[in-house]
């Protein structure tokens, strides 16, 4: 098989959450452990950092990996989902796993794949861990796919665990309250392994404290140890100045981030708290930290987070797709001077629309659309649901047609936002 055929085999033969949703979710680690045993437990050959959370785990994972790269360590990075190419999920020093490595992995291990019939995610995790081993990485940053306790990545014993925040997402799988979701996320806390919690939330902090106590793990809440001030931006530059202050010592760290969303203030304190703890194992200078944050896109290929695609008109996309993430992005959009606001919007078909549609402004012009994945919500269904909340516009069967129409109806002083789903953003970046 060539690369295209190999990826098609993976998508068509294995249930993939990013394509079919809940049906692909496995509520146990049986297949993951079987695959891990088959490959000889490759994740034990290198230290790792494990990062979970509802929002922010992608940004934090990429920034931590970028800092480790700047410090001179050969760094593996496993994330999900991908935007355009499956290989984005598995990187070493920012370079995607080669097509030949994907082909070789599937062809050599097709028998065990067909025998176990793992999910797409279970197989992908096994591929990443094995690739990092044979490539002799110095360290790997591993992003949780969904939840934590039963996520396929949760077989690792990291040197540091990080939980960015708890929000309303995947509630049909993880639980219908923040407390229940927190219990699932807390499942990544390992015995005697330090854990960093990005945000102190009243409804979840005791859950994390109890889990850490039971595991005999030290716990740090980043927002009680650090503060972050993001300086104002003119919204036309793909960079923003920040000042992170250590609240215990009063020491300040200043630098530039190319991730310009307001919500990155929360992620930056998680990065600083995490990286400074990693100094007990890795040689990381202050310069490595500032360079890693500034060069995160260059170093890791990160994309889709408050990304400016065009000026005149200003076009911004963001992969925020749950209540908390969208609320933050939409608040930032409201602050940007503009004439008219155009919103290209699409969701997956299992999205709780009643929790997110009320967040959107009624005075915007909408272009309801669907991404080219099986999970995409029908654009006309979305249009009807949005009308209940006073959101009106046209329907488009594909994202690029929606973008073309929005651009044709926009003046140079307008703003076009593309979002609602990672898969919608994937088609414009």
The one-digit pLDDT tens for each residue of the chain (429 residues) are 899 999 888 877 665 544 544 444 456 799 999 999 999 999 999 999 999 998 899 999 999 999 999 999 999 999 998 999 999 999 999 999 999 999 999 999 999 998 998 888 899 999 999 999 999 999 999 999 977 888 999 999 999 999 998 876 545 455 568 888 899 999 999 999 999 999 998 889 999 999 999 999 999 999 999 999 999 876 567 899 999 999 999 999 999 999 999 999 999 999 999 999 999 999 999 999 999 999 999 999 999 999 999 999 999 999 999 898 999 999 999 999 999 999 999 999 989 999 999 999 999 999 999 999 888 999 999 999 999 999 999 999 999 999 999 999 999 999 999 999 999 999 999
The CATH number assigned to the domain with range 3-300 reads 3.40.1190.10
Nearest to 362 by CA among 409, 330, 321: 330
Predicted TM-score (pTM) of the model is 0.93
Same fold, 3-300 and 307-426: no
Regarding the domain with residue range 307-426, which homologous superfamily does it belong to in the CATH classification? Mur ligase, C-terminal domain (3.90.190.20)
If you compute the radius of gyration of the chain from its CA atoms, what whole number of angstroms results?
21
- Ordered by start, the domain boundaries in the chain are 3-300, 307-426
pLDDT at 303: 94
pLDDT at 54: 86
- The beta-carbon contacts of 223-231 under 8 Å, at least 24 apart in sequence, are 223/198, 223/199, 223/266, 223/269, 224/200, 225/269, 225/273, 226/269, 226/272, 226/273, 227/269, 228/265, 228/266, 228/268, 228/269, 229/265, 230/257, 230/262, 230/264, 230/265, 230/268
Q: How many CB atoms lie within 10 A of CB 143?
A: 24
pLDDT at 165: 85
How far is it, in rounded angstroms, from Cα 221 to Cα 148? 18
3-class secondary structure, 227: strand
Q: How far is CA 136 from CA 93, 226, 227, in A?
A: 12, 34, 36
Phi, psi of 340 (to 5 degrees): -115, 150
Structure tokens at 325: 């993430």
Neighbouring residues of 322: CB distance < 8 A, sequence distance ≥ 6: 54, 55, 167, 168, 169, 356
What would the DSSP string read from start to end of 234-284? -SSSS-EEEEEEETTT--EEEEEES---TTHHHHHHHHHHHHHHHTTTS--
């Amino acid at each position: 098989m060539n690369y295209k055929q190999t990826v098609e085999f993976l998508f068509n033969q294995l249930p993939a959450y990013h394509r079919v949703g809940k049906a692909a979710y496995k509520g146990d680690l049986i297949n993951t452990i079987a695959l891990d045993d088959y490959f000889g437990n490759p994740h034990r050959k290198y230290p790792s950092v494990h990062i979970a959370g509802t929002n922010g785990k992608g940004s934090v994972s990429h920034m931590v990996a970028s800092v480790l790269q700047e410090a001179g360590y050969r760094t593996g990075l496993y994330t999900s989902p991908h935007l355009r190419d499956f290989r984005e999920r598995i990187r070493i020093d920012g370079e995607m796993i080669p097509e030949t490595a994907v082909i070789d992995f599937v062809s050599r291990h097709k028998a065990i794949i067909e025998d176990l019939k793992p999910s797409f995610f279970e197989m992908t995790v096994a591929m990443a861990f094995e690739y990092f081993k044979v490539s002799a990485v110095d360290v790997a940053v591993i992003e949780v796919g969904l939840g934590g306790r039963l996520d396929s990545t949760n077989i690792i014993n990291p040197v540091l665990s990080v939980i960015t925040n708890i929000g309303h997402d995947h509630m049909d799988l993880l639980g219908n309250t923040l407390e229940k979701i927190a219990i699932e996320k807390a499942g990544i806390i390992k015995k005697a392994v330090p854990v960093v919690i990005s945000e102190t939330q009243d409804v979840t902090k005791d859950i994390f404290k109890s889990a850490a106590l039971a595991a005999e793990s030290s716990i740090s809440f980043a927002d009680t140890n650090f503060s972050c001030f993001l300086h104002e931006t003119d919204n036309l530059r793909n960079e923003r100045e920040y000042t992170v202050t250590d609240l215990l010592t009063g020491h300040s760290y200043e630098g530039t981030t190319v991730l310009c969303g307001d919500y990155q203030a929360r992620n930056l304190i998680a990065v600083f708290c995490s990286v400074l703890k990693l100094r007990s194992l890795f040689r990381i200078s202050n310069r490595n930290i500032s360079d890693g944050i500034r060069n995160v896109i260059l170093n890791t290929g990160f994309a889709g987070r408050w990304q400016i695609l065009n000026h005149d008109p200003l076009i911004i996309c963001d992969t925020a797709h749950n209540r908390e993430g969208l609320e933050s992005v939409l608040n930032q959009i409201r602050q940007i001077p503009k004439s008219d606001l155009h919103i290209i919007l699409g969701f997956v078909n299992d999205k709780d629309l009643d929790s997110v549609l009320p967040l959107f402004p009624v005075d915007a012009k909408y272009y309801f659309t669907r991404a080219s994945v099986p999970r995409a919500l029908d654009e006309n269904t979305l249009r009807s649901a949005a009308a209940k909340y006073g959101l009106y516009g046209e329907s488009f069967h594909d994202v690029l047609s929606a973008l073309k129409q929005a651009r044709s109806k926009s003046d140079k002083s307008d703003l076009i936002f593309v979002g609602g789903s990672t898969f919608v953003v994937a088609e414009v970046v």
